[in-house]
Every structure is written in structure tokens, then in C-alpha cells.
Structure 1
Amino acid sequence: ATEITERVEIRLEHEAQYDWVAFVPQRESGAGALTKYFGKVAGDDDFKIRGIEARQRSTPPFIEDVQQDCLDQLDATRSPHAVLGRLERAIGELQAGNVEVERLVERNRVSKPLEGYSQNTQNVAALKRAREQDLAVHPGQDIEYVVVDDEKSSRDRVALAHEEIETYDASYYETQLVRAVESVLSPLGWDRSDIRLELSSGKDTTLNSFRTASNTD
């Protein structure tokens, strides 16, 4: 760092040593984004994470935990298929309704009053629910909610975190999981379509095995 600083006259500081670092490709160019990366700190169990879902304040705890598990799997096995195995288990939990709604709460910052929004986003749905309950949420404050039916555009699209929530939109959260795992695997050349294809082929294999066993019986 000292030698480079002297040569290019831009001050660099040594931050840490890493066993490996992965830069998440930019969608437009495929080059690694300098603001989205993750790496394994040498001699430590920690990861340095920047820009990906686990560092985004809006990410639900469940998605964050699964992404962190995927990083652990990648570090331990260097295998994309081990990462996909963790994703598959997480999707199974979602579809079975076994994820606590508290772990699916999204937290987003409100940037303007309700009247200032022109599109029916999830934030707008949440703000409408808040207004209906006489809860004041001002620009700069956070609003927390669970997505219960993302196909709706009304306030019924979400439920506020303090409400009694009996269900959630498993399909919506599955999409968020796939995006989080894409962040982990994209430096290895995997994109969302590759992940979906691999997941569907895995389901076909399981189904064919079940049919074969049933025919044998």
C-alpha cells in the first residue's frame, strides 16, 4: 500500500488480508462492481461484505441469514451446488409456511409523503395501511411490513409489522431468496436463470425417482 501510494499519489491503507474476494458483476458490463463484493477474512470466521443483500437495511432477517449461510457453504466447499442446496432448503421452508413472519419483515425508509408517490409500490401500500390506522409516518422515518400478496396493488399487498399476520407471499420471498443467492454465485458465472434451471432440474430428478420407486412397489 505504501509503494502504490508513493507511485500514484493516491493514499491507500491496508485494511485486512483475505483468503479470497469475489466482486459481483455489473449487469450492464459484466465487470466487477467496486461497491458490491464479499471476501473471507484470513485467519478469521468473518466475511467482509459490501453492497449485497446481507448489508442492505431493507433485507428481511430470513433472507440475510440464508445468504450468510450460503457464503459459509461457498467458503467451506467452493461448490455452487452446495450453495444451491441451502437455497432449496430455504425455499422448502417458505413454501411449507414454516418461516416466522417476524423474520420476513422488510424495513424501508419513507422518502416523501404518501401523496408524493405516483406508483403503487409496497411502501405506498404500507403507508396507506398506516394512514388507515391513524399512524403518522413522516419522510425520513422507517416503515416495516411483511408482503402478504404482492400481486395486489392495494393496501392489502402488505401487512404492517405490528399487525397480526397469519400468512405471507411465499412466491415473493422465494424471488428475493434467488436474488440473494445470485449475488453469491454471480462471480462464479451463475445468473438467476441458471439458478432457476438448476432448481427445476433438481425437482424433476426427485419426482422421477419417486415415480420409479412407486412403479417398483
Structure 2
Amino acid sequence: MLVACFGYQGFSNAKFGRIECHEAINAFAREILLTAKQRLEAGGWRVVHGIVDSIWVTPYPSVDDDDREDLETLATEITKRVEIRLEHEAHYDWVAFVPQRESDAGALTKYFGKVAGDDDFKIRGIEARQRSTPPFIEDVQRDCLDRLNATRSPDAVLGRLERAIDELQAGNVAVERLVERNRVSKPLEGYTQNTQNVAALKRAREQELAVHPGQDIEYVVVDDEKSSRDRVALAHEEIETYDASYYETQLVRAVESVLSPLGWDRSDISRELSGERAPF
């Protein structure tokens, strides 16, 4: 309940919002998180990341396994103390927190990790979890995660990116794998910028298709240099081409999310693809 109403209580235009309630939720959350952190550290675990609904820990190297307390036991004890259930969800072979764009600190809600004993990854915030991401971009990003897990090598990831770019530039990607799906937030007249969504809405209106706020609109970017409705083609249309440069940029961004925890940014990736990147 606290997580669900937290932002609303601090919203200045909320009908039933109250800033004191927003601040009180912050205070409770801080105390609960600190209590959990202190108990976990006392039990031999180092907290590496925490947010409103989860906390990530790793063993302290200086604590012997025999002296480290069991996580299930600690979770039960913390649950009784703070009166909010804490569960040991899973163990991970590794986890990477994607840095914020404006700093080297990890973003609170963007990470990916390999679940121990499982073929799956836990993914939050990056392109493969975003509903607007085209299937082709998602598939390439997931392939890059597989290669990073198998090799621990940026070169393997970049190799997959190069093959995907070659496929794009050769025109060999099926247009249905490049469809973007975005939620319409307001009527066409409510937009002030010529975004891709606006171009798609204009195209839909031209075809007498009603798309209301809250509904999705699906399209392929065919010429991102334009600002008119010709910038995109709706998914149901016969589409003969796509803007390879635009989708190449999306691919590089998706691979940046995978490699940025290793210290790579978009410029590093671009220089490596062009053969100009200086060795570390």
C-alpha cells in the first residue's frame, strides 16, 4: 500500500494527496530498509543495492561460511521485526546494475542478472523489458546477454551487434520484427512535438482509424528524418522498406545497456565498430 500510494501523495495536483503523508511513507521506508540492512550485515551479508521492494546482498569475503547466517532464517526474522514480509527470492550467479546516464551510480530500476541453476535472466528496465521495443531489437539484446554470460567478453557481444547491423543494412530483417508499439497518452491535438507517435496518429487519422488515449498504436519507422506522417508506416500497411540507420541506433543503445556495467558507453561501441577504439 505504501509503495502504491507513495508518488500520488506527493503529487501537487492529487485530489487526496498530502505531502506530510508522502514524507511519512519515506520515513517508514527508510527505517525498514535500514533495519533490514543492519540485520543482514550482522549475519555476514553485504548489501550492494536496495530499493523500495527489494534488497540485494552478497557474502562478506571476510566472514567464514560457517559463521554466515542462512538467508531464509534472516528473512523470517526481519519479517517479524518490521512486520512486512521479506522473502529470499532467488540466488544469482551474477547481477549487473546499469549505470545512470548522468553518473556512474547504478540506476535503481535497471539491472539484469543470471539466475543460478536456471537458463533465464532476471531483467528490469532495459530494452528487452520495454513494451515499445521491436522484437528484432529485443532478440538481439537477449542474444547479447547469453553471449556475455557464456564468455564474459565484450567482444562476443559486439560480434553479435555487428551481425545484426549487417542484417539490417542489407535489408534482410522482416518489417514485422521492427514494429514499435507505443501507448497513446492523449488526443492528436494534445501533442506539441512531432514525435513518431504523432506521425503514426496523423497517418491513422488519414486512414479514418480511431485511436484513443490509452490504446496502443503500432508502426515501423521508414524515414526518421521526416517530421510528417511519412516518417512511419502503420503495422497493417504494406511496408517495403525501413530506416536502417534509425534501427541501428536502437541496436547500439540496447547493447550499451548490456555493456555499460563493464564501463562501455555508446561512443566506445561506435569506435569499436569502426575499428578506431583505443585499447584499455
Task: Say whether the fold is shared (TM-score over 0.5).
Answer: yes
Which protein has greater RCO, CA pairs closer than 8 Å, 6+ apart?
Answer: 1
Worse-matched range after superposition: 10-19 or 27-36 = 10-19
Aligned length: 202
Change (3 A) 1:89 1:113: same
Worse-matched range after superposition: 5-14 or 184-193 = 5-14
Change (3 A) 1:158 1:4: same
1:4 alignment counterpart: 78
Deviation string 1:149-189 (CA, Å, 9 cap, x unpaired) is 00000000000000000000000000000000000000000
Q: Does 1:114 align with 2:191?
A: no
Give, in angstroms, the shift of residue 30 of structure 1: 1.4
Gaps of 5+ in 2: 1-74
- C-alpha distance in 2, partners of 1:216/1:77? 19
Query: What TM-score do you get using the length of structure 1 for normalisation?
Result: 0.89
SS in 1 for 2:246: helix
Question: How do 1:33-112 residues align onto structure 2 when only pairs under 5 Å count?
Answer: 33-112=107-186
Q: Does 1:164 align with 2:164?
A: no
Give, in angstroms, the shift of residue 2 of structure 1: 3.6
- C-alpha distance in 1, partners of 2:108/2:89? 15
Change (3 A) 1:8 1:216: closer
Deviation string 1:109-136 (CA, Å, 9 cap, x unpaired) is 0000000000100000000000000000
Structural RMSD (CA): 3.7
- C-alpha distance in 2, partners of 1:122/1:47? 31
State which structure, 1 or 2, has the greater radius of gyration over its C-alpha atoms.
Answer: 2
- C-alpha distance in 2, partners of 1:18/1:182? 22
Query: What TM-score do you get using the length of structure 2 for normalisation?
Result: 0.69
- C-alpha distance in 1, partners of 2:79/2:110? 24
Give, in angstroms, the shift of residue 11 of structure 1: 4.3
- C-alpha distance in 2, partners of 1:86/1:156? 31
- C-alpha distance in 2, partners of 1:35/1:139? 26
2:43 alignment counterpart: none
% same residue:
92
Give, in angstroms, the shift of residue 29 of structure 1: 2.4
Worse-matched range after superposition: 186-195 or 27-36 = 27-36
